Amino acid sequence: MAIVNATRLAAALLTAAALSALAGCGQGQQKQAGPPPPPAVTVANPERRTVVDQDEYVGRFVAVDAVEVRARLSGYLSEIHFTDGQMVKKGDLLFTIDRRPFSIALEQMRANLAQARANLAFTEADLARGQELVHNKTITEQSYDQRIQAKRVAEASVAAQEAAVRQATLDLEFTELRAPVDGRIGDRRISPGNLISGGTTSGSTSLLATIVSVDPIRFEFTFDEASYLRYQRFAGPATQMAKGESGVSVSLKLIDEQEFEHTGKMDFVDNAIDRSSGTIRGRAVLDNPGARFTPGMFGHIRVPGSPPHSALLISDAAIGTEQSRKYVLVVDDGGVARQKYVTLGQLDGGLRVIKDGLAAGDKVIVKGLMRARSGQKVTVQDEPAPPPPRKGPDEAKAG
Average pLDDT value for residue range 176-193: 93
Percent above pLDDT 70 for the chain: 84
Whether residue 377 is contained in a domain is answered as yes
Give the CATH number for residue 219.
Answer: 2.40.30.170
Residues 235 and 270 in one domain: yes
Q: Residues 191, 195, 198, 204: is their CA dihedral positive or negative? A: negative
CB 55 within 8 A of CB 223: yes
Digit-coded pLDDT (tens) for 64-114: 999 999 999 999 999 999 999 999 999 999 999 999 999 999 999 999 999
Give 330: exposed, middle or buried? Use CB within 10 Å, 0-12, 13-18, 19+. buried
Torsion, Cα of 355, 360, 364, 366 (10° steps): 70
317 with 291, same domain: the answer is no
Name the DSSP class of 299.
Answer: E
Residue 136 in any domain: the answer is yes
Q: What is the pTM of this model?
A: 0.68
Query: In the predicted model, is pLDDT for residue 333 greater than 80?
Result: yes
- The answer to whether residues 301 and 252 touch, using CB atoms and an 8 Å cutoff, is yes
pLDDT for the residue 334: 86
Q: Is the pLDDT of residue 238 over 90?
A: no
* C-alpha to C-alpha distance for 40 and 37, rounded to whole angstroms: 9
Closest by alpha carbon to 164, among 111, 117, 109?
A: 109
Least confident piece of the model among 42-46, 185-189, 235-239, 378-382: 235-239
- Express each pLDDT in 339-391 by its tens digit: 899 998 888 878 889 888 888 888 898 888 888 888 888 888 766 655 554 54
Domain count, the chain: 3
What is residue 191's predicted lDDT score, i.e. its pLDDT? 92
Helices (H), the chain: 2-33, 100-135, 141-174, 225-233, 237-242, 393-398
**CA of 195: how far to CAs of 24, 76, 98, 208, 324, in Å?**
109, 4, 10, 11, 65
pLDDT in tens, 286-309: 999 888 899 999 999 998 888 888
Sheet with 93-97, strands from edge to edge, namely: 176-178, 93-97, 75-80, 195-196
Distance between CA atoms of 114 and 120, rounded to whole angstroms? 10
Single out the residue in 261, 278, 304 at which a domain terminates: 304
Give the tens place of pLDDT for each residue, 203-230: 788 899 999 999 999 999 999 999 888 8
